[in-house]
Structure 1
């Protein structure tokens, strides 16, 4: 199934596929992401979410190049997102960082460039200053669109007040146990689209960002009952929920079975009652709390946030 018919129009008129492939992979196989991207393109995926910190932009670029050379896709068919890491927020560092990502990906332009987190280190740079350099990336033709990731309402409000090119996207963790309704509603009210990362709650996480702990409850009776009705898997219902509340999920997988299953969610739609029932599974359960940065001024998840 191709995502060509399932596109969302962003506030600047550009279109993004309604589901993508996340490319952060906790794997010992150095070629896993390249293989996953090739498979995903064959299955119809056209939206790929990358980041400089993932360390695999080269692999992703190789996979895309091969599929273009094979005639499976054209560059304009593919939607590529990547992100600026926290140690390159200095305005002088932003454009070089964007160009490095482009070189690794083997592309002439990005579809969307995001500020990965609102905080920075080792020096704390005001993200408003960083954003001005992000705007220059658009003006230089390095990217069609710019946005942010992990920004809260207060931070988005401040950014919107100062931006000359407004963010088209806020990428946030969202799943059945962290539905982010207040933040979603705010973003949509401001014309900001929402990408949902970790839509299954990053199962099996064991990294610093996602420490071991409780899993998102995909086996909830609520989810299971809906899955039975539509003859879908619990995971497919969890993805469809995110789509139906207006977010763009980016599940990550290197499994052929899961890649095929995750894209097969456009032949059914949840009712308002089903969405309401899933919303009641909210637990405020964040699998990517990034608590090692909670001493930084712009740490987005703690209220009130710690100040230096």
Structure 2
């Protein structure tokens, strides 16, 4: 299995990255530094995670110590919902470049298609007078043109989207000059995203899976009583025992063999080490079939507060 996914534009992305959602401050810096020592070279962040400065400082220090060179590291960040207007995209990316202490981004994603009003106060979840999220229906094709301009200027190498549905991706493809390189979305054994995977394969667009282990530490507002714990799934545990691997390694390897990049998040050194050591074994076709049979349509990230947004396409996988 390839340790990289190759984009249409010729750039390549490590197929295992470190997810950093929820990591901030000294714990973020320590985690990123330990990940570097373990061989991670792909780091996934977002403006709304509020940890770009922490990651930038850590990577910059590692460069000064001659532990890495800039070209060794693949950095993904994302534009939040409040910055989807063309003028705000430029501002947002300038800030990200400064915070990450780099001259270019390897991959820039639109974090999700559900626009929110930019009130100028840096609040990523602005509310209206009724106390509800203050929705704006941005023209995503215009947002995309701003991303294309950033590629043409050299400040961004590759562009893509996160949490987009097939119709929304199609809309971009019908109006773009630069095709998306990558779509990031929730994907794991309980939610295998076969429809969008088939579509993106036909369009030569790569896919990255967030929440590949079922996000056991996700925020409370994404938790439902009916949610089962993916890492406790007996089928996965039995297969892991047969291969003398951890359940996490089986879940991640399953996605990699299906052509995804994976973005597991952990602050635990040993688990981070396990999560990147995925290339010394193959899951057999029979066992792959068993895991494919676990697809239950279970989403761990439900985005309930966005369900009335015009771009929230109910019933679509994203």
The TM-score range, normalised by the shorter chain, is over 0.9
Aligned partner of residue 201 in structure 1, secondary structure: coil
Q: Who is 2:10 aligned against? A: 13
- 1:212, CA displacement in angstroms? 4.7
Q: Who is 2:80 aligned against? A: 85
> Which of 106, 110, 119 is the aligned partner of 1:111?
106
What is the TM-score of this pair, normalised by structure 1?
0.93
> Which of 139, 142, 145 is the aligned partner of 1:132?
145
What is the TM-score of this pair, normalised by structure 2?
0.90
Q: Distance in 1 between matches of 2:180 and 2:160?
A: 4
- 1:217, CA displacement in angstroms? 2.3
RMSD: 1.7
What are the equivalent positions in structure 2 for 1:132-151 lying under 5 Å apart?
Answer: 132-151=145-164
Q: Distance in 1 between matches of 2:316 and 2:291?
A: 28
Q: Distance in 2 between matches of 1:287 and 1:129?
A: 30
> Which of 146, 163, 174 is the aligned partner of 1:161?
174
Moved over 3 A (4+): none
Q: Distance in 2 between matches of 1:11 and 1:222?
A: 36
Q: Distance in 1 between matches of 2:224 and 2:315?
A: 23
For structure 1, the 5+ residue unaligned runs are none
- Asked whether 1:57 is paired with 2:58, we answer no
- 1:182, CA displacement in angstroms? 1.2
Q: Distance in 1 between matches of 2:316 and 2:233?
A: 32
1:260-292 deviations in Å (ceiling 9; x for gaps): 111111111112222121011111111111110
Aligned partner of residue 269 in structure 1, secondary structure: coil
Q: Distance in 2 between matches of 1:8 and 1:148?
A: 16
Q: Distance in 2 between matches of 1:205 and 1:77?
A: 30
> Which of 87, 91, 96 is the aligned partner of 1:96?
91
Q: Who is 1:264 aligned against? A: 277
Q: Distance in 2 between matches of 1:204 and 1:24?
A: 10
1:21-71 deviations in Å (ceiling 9; x for gaps): 001126xx7311111100000000000001000000000001101111111
For structure 2, the 5+ residue unaligned runs are 118-135
- 1:304, CA displacement in angstroms? 7.7
> Which of 286, 290, 293 is the aligned partner of 1:277?
290
1:141-188 deviations in Å (ceiling 9; x for gaps): 111000000111111111111110000000000011101111111111
- Asked whether 1:291 is paired with 2:304, we answer yes
Q: Distance in 2 between matches of 1:34 and 1:184?
A: 33
Q: Distance in 1 between matches of 2:239 and 2:22?
A: 29
The number of residues matched between the two structures is 298
Aligned partner of residue 178 in structure 1, secondary structure: coil
Q: Distance in 1 between matches of 2:37 and 2:184?
A: 25
Q: Distance in 1 between matches of 2:316 and 2:40?
A: 40
